[in-house]
Structure formats: C-alpha cells, structure tokens
Structure 1
Amino acid sequence: MLLSVLTATVVLQTTPMPREVTLPSEPAALSGTLVDAGPDASAALIIAGSGPTDRDGNSPLGVSAGTYRLLADDLAAQGISTLRYDKRGVGQSAGAMVAEADLRFSHFVDDARAWAGLLREQTGQSCVWLIGHSEGSLIAQSVAAEDPTGICGLVLVSGAGRPAAVVLREQLSGGTPEPYLSQALTIVDALDAGETIDCPPIFAALCRASVQPYVISWMDVDPAALAAQSALPTLVVQGSTDIQTTVTDAQALAGAREGIELAVLEGVNHVLKTAPIERTANLATYADPALPLADGVVPTISAFILRPRETQPQP
C-alpha cells in the first residue's frame, strides 16, 4: 500500500499541469492553454482548423472530439510541451473578434506567429514547432513563409495541398445536385478571381457579403507553393479515411520539394480518430471525446519532433 501511494505521488509530481495563458491583442486578449513538459522539452504550437474551433478542437458546428486536448496530453507524455489556443472570436478569445467584414486570413497568421513567440518565451526554447491541423496547416505554412525565425519545423496534419478553390470545386462536384452545382461553381470561380458577388441566401455560409473578403484572402494562398519555398523540416500527416482532406492533398504537399516527409496513417480520419471510410460511422467519431486518438498519430508526430536535429532531413 505504501509503495502504491509513493508511486501515485511521483506520477502526480511529474505529470505536466496545464495552465491558462493570455496573449495581448486588440480589441481583446486571446486565451490559450500551455502544457509545460519541463525546461528541456521541445515545444509545439497547435494551430486549429477552420470555423469556430476552440483550443480543444471542438466547435458548435457538431464537433466535440477533443482532438487538440488529447493531442496535447499525449505529446506531454512524450516530453513535448504544447500551447493550444481559442481562435480569435471563439471561446475565451471571443472578445478579440473583429467585424466579420474586416476579417482576413492574415489575422489568423498574425495570431499564430504571436502565440509562437509567447511559447518561446514561456518555455525558454530558441525555436518551437508548428503543428497545424486542417486549415491550421495552411496558417502554419504562412507563418513560416513570412519569417521562419524561431520556428524549428512544421507538422502539417490533415491539411489541403491544393488551393482552397480547387478543393471546394472538387467537394461541391462530389454531391451537389443541379441547378445548385452550377451556381456554386460560378460563385467559387468569382471569389477565386478576387471578385465580390451577389450571394444567393442558400449559399450564405460560403459567400454572404461580410465573409467574402475573408474567403478571397484564403483562396489566394497556395499550400504547395508555400511548401516548395520553405527550407524547414516538414512532416505531412494524413489519415486514409479522412473525408475532408485526401491523400492527394498530402501528396501535393509532400511532393512540393525534396526532404518533406509523408506519413499516411491507415484507418485515421480528419479528427485523428480510428474510423471507417463510411460517412455516418466516420462522422460519429467527431462527437466522441472519450475515443482516444488513433494509435499512430502521436508516435508519428513525436518521433519527428524529437529526432536529433543533426539527423533532420535537409531539403
């Protein structure tokens, strides 16, 4: 019994404890969670995907998988500190939202860059890793492309490898009936050309007047081009049963230049859970926070981050 108590005490003392951190911003501060694995631990910033996604990877749009919380906890167990945060306008960062018509993709890039700087300060590391998930992958790439100083490397998880307009056309063509398909494709073509349009109410999520400037700024970024110009160590992670991004996207990123590593994880979906390709069962995992991350996710990411620097592949 005494041995059990002592063991439990050691575990409690060595388990990294999450703590709240804030980042000054206008019109209000941003909020996040730091899990510090120790003074010598590598550190990674977890950058969320699109929409109203919070620091844990959850969204009021039907996602409660807890993906980023699970990832942070599992990486801490491997000796990697993480910082994850509520996006501008979400959760405890809700007050930092600017008017939707003024929002641009660059706002999220600037926020991620500032969080990376705060993570360096909080952990004492000279550089930190950027783990971008879904649209966060593109944000991570954009941060590194503008200034790689203080960035160890990139882990691009479930990210698009082609411009957003290309992916949207493909997704729409996969199941949108006429006459809506033709209308939707015309809208995408106009926004891709940088043109604002009159938006039919049925397509408000894509092209309402206040969101068009953001969509245009997002479509202007080419992920494969960003991957080609970066010299940082880069790992692309893609699940084979992801129904939002595809292995084709991952291959586009990994093939952008020599030295980018690609890991395709069998049976892993967009929220990094084990799932079949069948849509209903796949989506069921999006609402199951008790379901752990798929077995290969954390070992793949942690092995790449913890690899001795001198053996990192050189582009």
Structure 2
Amino acid sequence: MRNLRRWAGAVAVPILVLGGGVTLAGTASALPDTGSVILPSGDDTAVTFDADGSTFHGSLRLPNGATTGAALLLPGSGPTDRNGNQPGVASSDVLLRVADSLAAQGIASLRFDKIGAGDTGLGKFTAETVGEYGFVDQVDHAAAAADLLATRTGFATSDVLVLGHSEGGLTALALADRGIGDGFGLLQPLPMRYLDLLSAQITAVAESGQLSPDQAEAVRADVPRTVESLRATGTVPADQHPLVAQLGLNEANAKFLAEADRLDPAALAAGLAADTPVLLTCSDKDLNISCAQVDPLRRSLEHTDLQFEHFATANHSLEELGPLPPSPADVVALLPVSAEFAVAINDWATRQAR
C-alpha cells in the first residue's frame, strides 16, 4: 500500500512518510547499476470485461511461444492501474514487470485497471457514490477478470496462478477462498487484518515528530475509537478528528475498509492446500510492511509449497534501493527493478510453467 486509499471526495495523504537520509534530487544518480532489468517479453492485447455494471479495461499478455500457464495479476490499494502505478507518483510498473517475467516462461497473464484507475475510471460509480464501493466488490471484479482469463487462454479459473501486490495479496487470498487459483504470488502483501495495519502505520506517523504534539495526541486517541466503530458498525464516528479522516479512516473509505478488515490473511493462507505453490516476499527496506509483520503469514504458509523471499534492498514497490536507506523519496523517484525480486520472480515462474 504505497498510499492510503484516495477517492474523489475523500481527503487522504501518503501514509508512510517516515525515514530520511535521501533527498529526491540525489536519488536516481546515487543508485548503483544493479543490472536488474526484467526484459520485455510477449505481446499485450487490450481487453475489456464487465462486472457489476462497470466495464474494466486491461491487457492480456501472451507469450511469444507456446502458452504453458495463465496468471491473474492484482494491483495494490487505491486508484492503481494495470501496471501497478498511481497518479502523482513515479511509475514502478511492478505488475508490468511481473507480466514480462511470466511471459518469458510461457505464462500468459491478465492485468487490469481497477475502479478509480486508468481507462476503467470510476466505472458505474461517481465521485458522490464511490463510498458504496467495497472490498467484496473488488474481489467480485477480480473473479470476473479470472473468468475472462480462463476464456481467452483455456485454463480453468481453478488452474490459474494469482499474483497480488500489497493489498492485492489479500484479494488473491480471497479468490483462493472462492476456489480460484492453483498457485499464488503474495508480493509485499498485506499480512494482517487491514485496520490493524493501518492503525500501526498511522501511529507511526503520530510518533514520527511530523505532527504537532496536540495533533499526535488526537490521532493516538481517535484511531482506536475509529477502528472500533468501523468494526462494530461499518461507519466512522460522527465527531471524528479531521486529521484521522485525512489519514484515510474516513466515511468515503468506510465500507471498503470494514469489509476488507473482516478477512485475516493468515487464516485464509492456512486454508490453502498443502501442495499449493506460493511465492511470498518481504524486504528490510519496505517502509509500508515489515518482514516482522509478514512473519505470522509466512508461518501460516509453511504447510504449502512455499518459496519465501526475504529481500534486503527492495522497497515496497519492489524497486532497487541498493545501499540507500528507504525514504519518502521512493514514491516519486524513478528506480530500477529490484535485483533480488528479478531473480525470485523468474525462478518461481520457471517452476510454475507447465
């Protein structure tokens, strides 16, 4: 989750603004030459599919040679497009790079612009009604995408791979609970209940010194109350502090957050079959989700055919930081793909090709 959810009519700011030591001006030139470029592979075809009254736009990537498998690629939080990018931040192209790696191994893939992003836009929603969009809707839309992938490739939805980045990891596990998918890539995934993670992130902002003492105290007091209200009623308190709303725990996001928070990623992961291939990643330089937070999810996956990758120099978007410390500049700097991730995704894709 590079940013908190940002919808028209809802005020939100980048949630993880901690760290330091790197200025934007010096970031690109200071990065080492990692040689970690994932080369383009295969060809994209523009596709559309309809779900719940909205038309979704995406790209079907077909390998240059024989197709040995199929994969659905799911983006992270907020208005994230088919390539894994959001407006106002540098393009990480995390899902585009995954599509390249898979195609090189003969695996077709489908990625799409979710609600609020790219050519899909708000779909059937408007700026006034987008608060009616929930996490269950998001899973329904991903299921419809899996149906299209099955139709276009001939692989049943129960036989495709499902890879999700960040929040997309929770969507992937929710699809698994519906019987969709025969292998899963959980890339820097949301590892715990949604509101627990957001609470930890917002508390970190309050403790960072970037807020005034009065603001920090208001956030510390109001976040638990807001979380309790979302879990009990699906709404935020009427007298909620404005700063908490600005940090994303607001009425426009209430339905989505309440629905997503009902799911525990570790519990869903524990329900996967013992022979399920799973790729799970975390990184020491991920400011959004720590490897310590991912560890309970890793333990819940030990019964599967797990490939766990603990990276040292990748940021949340799986870009290469090399020796540089993570910082807010990651969001806007143009960075190469992580060398560690390039090796890991290529290795996993090779083993999944049929």
CA distance in 2, matches of 1:308, 1:89: 32
Distance apart, 1:44 and its partner CA: 1.4
Q: 1:264 aligns with which of 286, 296, 310?
A: 310
Higher relative contact order (CA 8 A, sep 6+): 2
Q: 1:146 aligns with which of 166, 178, 192?
A: 178
Quickly say closer, same or farther: Cα 1:255–1:80, change in 2 above 3 A.
same
Q: Secondary structure at the match of 2:70?
A: strand
Q: Which position in structure 2 is the counterpart of 1:91? A: 118
Q: Secondary structure at the match of 2:120?
A: helix
> Is residue 68–residue 84 contact of structure 1 (8 Å, CA) maintained in 2?
yes
Q: Which position in structure 2 is the counterpart of 1:307? A: 351
Q: 1:200 aligns with which of 241, 245, 249?
A: 241
Q: 1:62 aligns with which of 83, 86, 89?
A: 89
- In the TM superposition, 1:8-157 aligns within 5 A as 16-37=42-63, 38-98=65-125, 99-126=129-156, 127-148=159-180, 151-157=181-187
Distance apart, 1:157 and its partner CA: 0.5
CA distance in 1, matches of 2:137, 2:183: 21
CA distance in 1, matches of 2:261, 2:41: 42
Number of equivalenced pairs? 292
CA distance in 1, matches of 2:88, 2:162: 25
Q: Secondary structure at the match of 1:174?
A: helix
Quickly say closer, same or farther: Cα 1:75–1:162, change in 2 above 3 A.
same
CA distance in 2, matches of 1:26, 1:217: 17
1:298 maps to a residue whose letter is A
Could you report, residue by residue, the CA deviation over 1:83-126 in whole angstroms, capped at 9, with x for unpaired residues? 11100232111152432232110111111111112112212224
Quickly say closer, same or farther: Cα 1:192–1:279, change in 2 above 3 A.
farther
Distance apart, 1:71 and its partner CA: 2.5
Structure (1/2) with the larger helix percentage: 1
1:124 maps to a residue whose letter is G
CA distance in 1, matches of 2:84, 2:224: 30
Q: Which position in structure 2 is the counterpart of 1:220? A: 262
CA distance in 2, matches of 1:23, 1:169: 35
> Is residue 51–residue 140 contact of structure 2 (8 Å, CA) maintained in 1?
no
- Any stretches of 5+ residues in structure 1 without a counterpart? 1-13, 311-315
CA distance in 1, matches of 2:161, 2:292: 24
- Any stretches of 5+ residues in structure 2 without a counterpart? 1-39, 207-215
> Deviation above 4 Å: which 4+ runs of structure 1?
none
Give the TM-score normalised by the residue count of structure 2. 0.76
139-148 or 69-78, which moves further after superposition?
A: 69-78
72-81 or 169-178, which moves further after superposition?
A: 72-81
Q: Which position in structure 2 is the counterpart of 1:235? A: 279
CA distance in 1, matches of 2:217, 2:163: 39
Distance apart, 1:208 and its partner CA: 2.9
> Is residue 88–residue 97 contact of structure 1 (8 Å, CA) maintained in 2?
no
Distance apart, 1:66 and its partner CA: 2.1
Q: Secondary structure at the match of 1:221?
A: coil
RMSD: 2.3
CA distance in 1, matches of 2:173, 2:56: 21
Q: Which position in structure 2 is the counterpart of 1:172? A: 202
Distance apart, 1:308 and its partner CA: 6.2
CA distance in 2, matches of 1:186, 1:273: 36
Percent identity of paired positions between Structure 1 and Structure 2: 29
Distance apart, 1:39 and its partner CA: 3.6
Could you report, residue by residue, the CA deviation over 1:175-219 in whole angstroms, capped at 9, with x for unpaired residues? 312232212232123223345221333233423323212211111
Q: Secondary structure at the match of 2:86?
A: coil
Q: Which position in structure 2 is the counterpart of 1:3? A: none
Give the TM-score normalised by the residue count of structure 1. 0.84
